[in-house]
Amino acid sequence: MSVTDQPATPTADTAPQLNALTRERLGRQLRALYEPVIDEALDPRLAELLQQLDNDRRGDPAV
């Protein structure tokens, strides 16, 4: 497939639009789906890696 055969990237003018009711329903469904995940404990190793990333972004010395 050549570059000219690829579909154009949608712009704000051509992108599909969701009405308010659909956005609200989608939001409720996503919250219901991910709520149990949010309540799970974070793996200690992942928490340590995230802390290191925060420290690196702030320029804090390694702990």
Residue 7: per-residue pLDDT: 61
- pLDDT, tens only, 32-51: 999 998 888 989 999 999 99
Is the pLDDT higher at 10 or at 40? 40
pTM: 0.45
The DSSP secondary structure of 1-63, one letter per residue, reads --GGGSPPPP-TTTS----HHHHHHHHHHHHHHHHHHHHSPPPHHHHHHHHHHHHHHHTPPP-
Residue 59 confidence class, pLDDT cut points 50, 70, 90: confident
- pLDDT, tens only, 22-37: 999 999 999 999 999 8
